[in-house]
Structure 1
Amino acid sequence: MIGAGNIERFQKRWQQSKYMEGLLYATGFGGFVYLLTHHVFFGILGLLVAAGIAFWVLRPWKISSKNAVAYIDAHLPQAGYSSGLLLSPAHELSSLSKLQQYRVAEQLGPVLPKLSPPHKLLRAALVMFGLILLGLAVNFALANVNKLSEKEPSNKEQITFAPKDSLPSTTEFPELKGTNITIQYPRYTGKSTLNTTSPNIRAVQGSRIIWNLEFDGDVQEVEMDLMGEPIDFIKTDGLYRLTKTLEASGFYSFTFKDNGGNVHVSDLYSLEMVTDEPPMVQIEGLDNYSYFAFDDDKRLMFNANISDDFGIADAYIIATVSKGSGESVKFREETVRFDRGIPKGNKQIQLQQALDMDALKMEPGDELYFYVEALDQRTPTANIARSETYFAVIRDTITDAFAVEGNLGVDLMPDYFRSQRQLIMDTEKLIADKPNISEKEFKSRSNELGFDQKQLRLKYGQFMGDETEMQSAPGAVSHHEGEAEHDHEEGEEDLLDEYSHKHDSENEHNLVEEHGHENEDQEEEEDPLHDYLHNHSDPEESTLFEKSLKAKLRDALNIMWDAELQLRLYEPKKSMPYQYDALEIIQDIKNSARIYVHRIGFDPPPIKEENRLSGNIEDITNFDKQEEYPYEMSFASTREAIPRLEQLIQDRKGFSDADGALFADAGNELAQKAISQPLKYLKVLQGLRDLEKATYRTKENYRMVQKNLLSVLPEIADIPMKKTEYQDEINMLYLKELEAYE
């Protein structure tokens, strides 16, 4: 095969370029990993993983001689699209093919070694250098962050001490050799004991914290300053130990005294308490109000979702059954367990429960109030949470009338609201008596029932604020009735006048607009206070019911109008569905307006029988108490520290023990606020704490602390007092023009 070796060498060069491209990618990634971790093993591991991925994507071994022939034919005109003949044996070719093979081999011999295979080595090299530069940048940034954190004393994870007073540089004092802080979480949390050296502690309420400090020299005493409260350490086996149960958040620092009597103080550290939250209880798949008929399946199906941060201990249903009404109402409370057992310690539980009202021995007219209560595992006292209260009522088949019950919080419904049921009974009686009475009597009774329905609708409308519609009710005086009386003075009196439904005369349902007073309305001045008045004549301004009840009552009024219309048209059968719908809505309004209140009694103090009705009032005196409350300015020590810092800046007086006590009191005042807003006050507290160290008593530090105090100090509240104000003649005239004294 003439010239086959040139093609094979081109194929190998192509494969080598692909391998080189993959190695460049892998080298860049491996260098990036090494710069981040500073560990040779991880760098080599990253190199190998990246190389494997790159070779699998590029697949250099997949480049065959056919790929090489195709590339040569496409990029070298000398090949004449016949370079594939170089790979064929000579005995398999015809004479013409052998001639072409020889010709192609002669022409490709000098140009094929110069042909470069396809590759992306430049891009791979750029990616490699980019990854290495990125690793160097990240490494540099992390190094700077570490340096800044080392410069900031409040962010150190190690406890450091500094002398409170200035000492000669040659003086040697004990140094902290070792620190070990043990956090023992409450057993119910399930969290293991934590050992740390960081003095900034965040733990669950009730955790037991143990500080162990070891010094390389003799120390007289060591104490902790917790929000102004000194707590002494106990020396045990060369270690100074302090044990405390975490009950509140705050800030603390350490102080020790060496054998020379010099006091050394530490920075300020945070002590954050995490509160154990109560469980969350939610009920799904159930309406707040449920109503059942006597023959319904009286079971309430619902799902209870319970969750807690450290585990649930127990959950159950508290059901209260109300029997009776008025003064004879009685309550019975029961605890219903879930059918499914409560696995203790689970952080989230989903329970499905069916509450059988028959099992609770409920009868028609009884009401059920229930909620789900859950407890967590907190000790010694568990957190208790409960869901919303849900209501269920079994309709009373005998006394299911729209009446005011004894357990209504506010009596908004008069007695005549019960007449809708009576209207239904009278309408049913009229339908039953229709075959036995005359047509005239039937129409007269139907019209009278329509009038009764109208009266009931108007009375409901009065409670909705429809006071203008009440003018058409009997007893109200209007200009229409005056005209009607004048029309009947000369003629025969119409006996059905007050029972008839006259749309054209009274216009009581606003079917036709009245234009009689249009000009007068235009001439009247618009009242500027109209938007601010409580207008009862507007139905939407009525406040006797809440919005949901008003909407239901408005629906009832619309249905009553349809019932009245059918009665006026002498169609009592067609009126019955509307009357039943109105009664159902009214009954729903009554049930939703109930307020569940446990009955409580009043036990008056016992009266001695010998003093009863005696009229002796010698020992009865009037009680008179006068007490003055002196005004105390908030943050008094902090406000006093600001001018004192100004004096220290001006070098008027040197730093004294009284200044140290003043700044300590100011820090204790601000520490109470820092519990809720630590980020705002921590820098100020640290600055005040640093003033106890002699090295921080400089003018620059005084200015910084003073500036921070001014930034967090709240404004002084106004003291209620009588103030004398000067009123000149111009102001008096201006107020007079504004009618301020009218």
Structure 2
Amino acid sequence: MSALFAQWIAPARRRAFADTLALALPPLSALAIIGWRCGGPMIAIWLTTVPLAVTFIIARRRAARFDRRWLIRSLDTRYPELEDSSALLFADDAPLSPLESLQRRRIAARLDRGAPQELIPAWSTRPILILGLLAVALIAAALLWPRPGEGPPALAPSREGLPARPGIPRLVAQNLRIIPPAYTGLPVRDSAALDARAPQGARLEWTLRFDPQAAAPRLLMLGGQPLALRQDGANWIASRTLDAAFLYRVDPAAGRGPTPPLHRVDAIADAPPQVKALTDSLTLVTPGQRNWSPAFAAIDDYGVAANARLRVTLAIGEGENVTFSEREIPVGGSGPPRNRRFAPRLDFASFGFAAGGDMVVQLIVRDNRSPSPQAVRGPSLILRWPSPKQPESSGLTGMVNTTLPAYFRSQRQIIIDIEKLLKQKRGLAPDRYLARSAAIGGDQQILRGRYSQFLGGENEGAPALPTADGEAHGDDDGHDHGGPPVAAPSVFGEKEDVLAEFGHPHDESPASSLDPETRAILKQAVDEMWQSERELRTGHPDAALPYAYRALRFIKAVQQATRIFLSRVGPELPPIDASRRMTGKRDGLASRLLPVAPVASADGPAADAWRALGDGPQAIRGPIALDALDRWVRANAARLPDPLALSGAIDAVRRDPACATCRVKLRALLWTAMERPAGRLARRRPADAVGMRYLDAIGGAP
């Protein structure tokens, strides 16, 4: 009877589910349109996701109400011929008596004449219609309601501060609308002030109103072409694209009234994206590793493109048989646009990466600037797969393996490695912990050997190579050992030959250049290194740390000491010409004073204007020739800290030469704009009382 139950119950459940969705569709649509209108597509999605999930839950619960009890009650009410016995049709569990079985067969035959569609509940027509009308009203209001920055702007009172003159138009209301480029994702905004900061490439729209009405107002660009305004009813409108920062003023009366103040609009340049590596710069392949996922983070002020390029460079081979290959693959990022994360999965088999090779990856990202997006290359990450071949015991490979750690490890680095190992102790296996401690001990041994060389004969020598000779040879062992060794011929210019032939060497070892006190300190440092090495070799880095710190202190003391003795050589003066003594002849003598050459400077106009604006004898109280200074500012705008402020100060002095405040401001800006002079020698301090007595005693008092 389960099939009969599903046949009669399914249409009613589908109707209840659809009816619930029909009731929720108008409010959800209105909510989505309002969210999209106010905040964009992402806000609309966020506003409708949760209500839509709640709607599905409610719809399933409403459909679940149409169960067996409801079906039995509805069948008995709808069909009187079932004689209130429809419950017998769905009694699968309990055994039936012969009379109940007979009644069941009778009503089953009668039920076949009915249809399940007769039990479907009616639609909620009236609520759906009311909700639909409300949703249409809300959607129309949302579409007709202007967004921020749309429609005619609300003008703010003017802040020019100019006095009113009869018949002269003046600015009474103003608004500056800033429309950023679409790629920035910034909203349109209105500014009540005429000074603003906006992204480079934004669209600027001025809406101005004058009283009395102006005839041909203009926007005068300082150092550029004026911008004409067009009339729109009682307002005047102008627009331009913000390519670079500029200064301007609103001129409503073509120069007939007082000079309006300057306004400034700064352009915010789009910064290039920044790429940061989240993986170590050098990684070694672990046993069993078959892929690698280098991680990068890319940030940008307006967003990074979702797709980037990964440059993969492979170096396969050893020695002289190294082959290089380079390719770029597309990678996708995750996360918000302003802070994306790139972690591509690189399969070794697809790249042909094998043992003995290096894989170098570099991420190339672009921002969303349009047009001409900015591309930036991130840092390079290296994956190294060590070769299974063991290094040879001699030759260049053995020398490099022994020498490199000595150059790349210092006592401070050893201390850092020990502290890092102690922090990672809990997460390391005992054998791994002991191996890393022993490796740091090997670095300590190499560093101890370097410093032991300065103690003369106490450095550890390399063991002799095994040979077939089992016994040592002597002078009377019966073999011919040849004659006495012949000295190699001297080579002109060799420092050893020069010292042996003309000098008297005293040094027997590098330690001879150390004074006894410094030598003793160095000996203590080597002893502490030995103790540190012993503890590291035995797997006790915590016990080695105090010895490593003491060794570092001794090394610093040695570095600050006077360690090397140099022979003192007197000055080699030219011989005295005795024939000219006591003759009084001054032929051929010249002054030893060097001529003083003027320092060439590119700040000539700025320096002249600075002196002219001051209080000294070169100051000018009247009008100053500012054309040369203006040209100097334009020519040196790239290196000046704020060329627009300097241009505005020049314009203020040009408009009102008698303005003392304007002159002081221009002089202060010129001082910050000029190049700093080179440092001079400090004057000798005047002699104090003791110095004066000394000068009197030698007869050199001034």
TM range (shorter): 0.3 to 0.5
> Given the two structures, how large is their TM-score scaled by the length of structure 2?
0.43
Greater relative contact order (CA < 8 Å, ≥ 6 in sequence): 1
TM-score under structure 1 normalisation?
0.41
